[in-house]
């Protein structure tokens, strides 16, 4: 008999049992308290009505235009975000602990970024090897000595969390550059309110709809010294062909600010100004969704047509706030991630509330040897990778895929880290056959400004819609769920 432990967030700890070639069966401990009211409602519902509502929700997403672009796939460049109507529900007590850990981590990340672009005390103290910064492509020498307003480098952060048990949460990765997905979080909630208003009278769910207002307030509070009067905020987008363009336009609309492209901006009298019908108007805070390399052709990629020539010079002089600051990418580098517990402790004086997934740094000889010997058991990721691209999930890979990745590891070991394959928690989805467990992660969205740290209750739950899959990224076939954090 094979036995394994799974954790379903609706039904609790489960025991998988399989005899010989018989299909595996899971016996769960029983319905968990956060789902009690939802389960009572669900049992009273007609499955045919729920199937109809699922189709209606998909139609809402289609009519709203909630899509994303898939790079490199011309035959299906734009896709609908799959949405599942069964919510993920988090108890108030669980969320309080998560929120404390998330805030601690975000404060540490901002302190770390300030330090490595100034005195580099963490390197002097021997807590981080110097080569992790000096040889890191995400470290920008142009940011050395630059102090953003209030010491805030990463104004919008997405912290990806996974759960493996009742009280076991791990940080899978930090998104400190340009975390996406918040528009899906907001649209998921709006769709659920529209489809099932009665559910929100039976369950006291913390709201998320005020995120755009909080984002605008947080960005305004980060305005530079050159600001006079009410700060002018704008969003810089690479344009309509970017995979997250829907989100850029959605947030601009929700905040009531201008959505601009590089050709709409120019440097005028030491300020970055946007073109309007009444001439050029100075911008105080630019929420940029353009990568570092392309933001300023005079300082970075000279061939870039997406950025603004000279914007970095204005930024260094205190004439504009860029959110997030250039150079923040080093904080979500997956090799730096492996040092995050030490980073948190170094800057806060406290042990990390949220732990990392154990990680092997493949640039270390012993770690590389272990990873090569256990490749079929591990998950291997590019240190600068995102969106589920460039990664290997050993247990589900073919012999050919393992051999190809083995060659990549040997050729560029410093480009990869490896982690064990975790037994991620599951949440039911509504399938044709009824409820079916699927693996999930969670991306809470965090706002940081000189006024403090604000965490939206819940965040974006991404779900692997394929049975047994651990890959939740929408670009790899994953979907989303509404995430409920219950009131006390």
User: In 177-201, which positions are buried (b, 16+ CB within 10 angstroms) versus exposed (e)?
Assistant: bbbbbbbbbbbbbebbeebbeebee
CA–centroid distance for 385 within its chain? 13
pLDDT at 305: 93
pLDDT at 78: 61
CA distance 104 to 110: 10
Q: What is the CATH classification number for the domain harbouring 372?
A: 3.30.1490.270
Give domain status of residue 91, yes or no. Answer: no
Q: The tokens of 93 are what?
A: 């007590």
CA distance 139 to 328: 8
User: In 12-27, which positions are buried (b, 16+ CB within 10 angstroms) versus exposed (e)?
Assistant: bebeeeeeeeeeeeee
DSSP three-state, residue 376:
helix
pTM attached to this predicted model: 0.91
Are 439 and 151 spatial neighbours (Cβ–Cβ below 8 Å)? no
Give domain status of residue 404, yes or no. Answer: yes
Give domain status of residue 397, yes or no. Answer: yes
Provide the CB-side half-sphere exposure for 423 (13 A, CA).
14
Give domain status of residue 371, yes or no. Answer: yes
For the segment 314-329, what is each residue's pLDDT rounded down to a tens digit?
Answer: 999 999 999 999 999 9
pLDDT at 59: 87
Give domain status of residue 303, yes or no. Answer: no
Q: Looking at 307-415, list the stretches that DSSP marks H as alpha helix, in order from N- to C-terminal side.
A: 311-316, 334-337, 340-348, 365-373, 399-411
pLDDT at 475: 67
Closest residue by Cα to residue 473 from 160, 208, 237: 160
Give domain status of residue 244, yes or no. Answer: no
Provide the CB-side half-sphere exposure for 173 (13 A, CA).
22
Give domain status of residue 49, yes or no. Answer: no
Which residues in the chain show pLDDT less than 70? Answer: 1-5, 15-27, 67-79, 385-389, 475-476
Sheet of strand 271-276, all strands in order from the earlier edge strand to the far edge: 265-268, 271-276, 279-282
Are 418 and 378 spatial neighbours (Cβ–Cβ below 8 Å)? yes
Category of 206 on φ-ψ map: left (φ > 0), alpha (ψ -120 to 50) or beta: beta
**What domain range is 400 assigned to?**
359-421
- The H or E element spanning position 49 is helix 47-64
- The number of distinct structural domains making up the chain is 1
Q: The tokens of 479 are what?
A: 């979907």
pLDDT at 8: 93
DSSP three-state, residue 328:
helix
pLDDT at 23: 47
For the segment 5-22, what is each residue's pLDDT rounded down to a tens digit?
Answer: 689 999 998 765 544 444
- The H or E element spanning position 202 is helix 199-202
Beta carbons within 8 Å of 301's beta carbon, 6+ residues apart? 293, 294
Give domain status of residue 400, yes or no. Answer: yes
């Amino acid at each position: 008999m094979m036995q394994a432990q799974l954790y379903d967030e609706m039904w609790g700890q489960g025991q998988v049992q399989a005899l010989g070639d018989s299909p595996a069966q899971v016996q769960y401990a029983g319905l968990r308290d956060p789902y009690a009211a939802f389960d009572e409602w669900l049992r009273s519902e007609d499955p045919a009505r729920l199937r109809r509502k699922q189709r209606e929700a998909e139609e809402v997403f289609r009519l709203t235009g909630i899509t994303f672009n898939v790079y490199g796939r011309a035959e299906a460049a734009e896709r609908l975000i799959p949405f599942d109507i069964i919510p993920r529900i988090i108890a108030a007590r669980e969320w309080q602990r998560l929120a404390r850990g998330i805030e601690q981590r975000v404060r540490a990340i901002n302190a770390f970024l300030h330090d490595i672009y100034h005195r580099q005390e963490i390197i002097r103290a021997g807590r981080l090897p110097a080569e992790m910064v000096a040889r890191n492509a995400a470290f920008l020498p142009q940011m050395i000595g630059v102090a953003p307003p209030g010491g805030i480098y990463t104004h919008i952060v997405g912290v990806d969390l996974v759960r493996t048990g009742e009280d076991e949460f791990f940080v899978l990765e930090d998104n400190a550059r340009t975390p996406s997905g918040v528009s899906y979080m907001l649209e998921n909630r709006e769709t659920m309110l529209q489809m099932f208003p009665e559910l929100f009278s039976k369950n006291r769910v913390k709201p998320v709809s005020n995120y755009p207002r909080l984002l605008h307030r947080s960005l305004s509070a980060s305005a530079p010294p050159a600001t006079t009067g009410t700060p002018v905020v704008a969003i810089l987008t690479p344009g309509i062909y970017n995979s997250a363009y829907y989100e850029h336009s959605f947030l601009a609309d929700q905040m009531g600010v201008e959505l601009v492209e590089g050709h709409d901006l120019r440097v005028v009298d030491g300020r970055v100004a946007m073109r309007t019908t009444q001439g050029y108007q100075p911008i105080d805070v630019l929420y940029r969704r353009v990568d570092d390399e392309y933001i300023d052709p005079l300082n970075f990629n000279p061939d870039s047509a997406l950025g603004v020539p000279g914007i970095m010079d204005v930024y260094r002089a205190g004439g504009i706030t860029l959110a997030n600051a250039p150079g923040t990418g080093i904080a979500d580098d997956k090799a730096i991630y492996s040092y995050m517990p030490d980073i948190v402790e170094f800057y806060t004086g406290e042990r990390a509330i949220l732990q990392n997934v154990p990680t092997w740094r493949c640039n270390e000889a012993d770690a590389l040897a272990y990873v090569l010997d256990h490749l079929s058991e591990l998950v291997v990721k590019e240190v600068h990778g995102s969106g589920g691209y460039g990664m290997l999930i050993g247990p589900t890979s073919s012999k050919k895929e393992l051999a190809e990745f083995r060659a990549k590891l040997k050729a560029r070991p410093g480009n990869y880290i490896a982690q064990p394959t975790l037994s991620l928690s599951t949440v039911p989805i509504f399938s044709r056959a009824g409820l079916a467990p699927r693996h999930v992660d969670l991306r809470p969205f965090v706002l940081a400004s000189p006024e403090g740290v604000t965490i939206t209750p819940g965040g974006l739950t991404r779900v692997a819609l394929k049975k047994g899959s651990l890959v939740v990224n929408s670009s790899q076939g994953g979907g989303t769920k509404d995430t409920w954090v219950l009131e006390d």
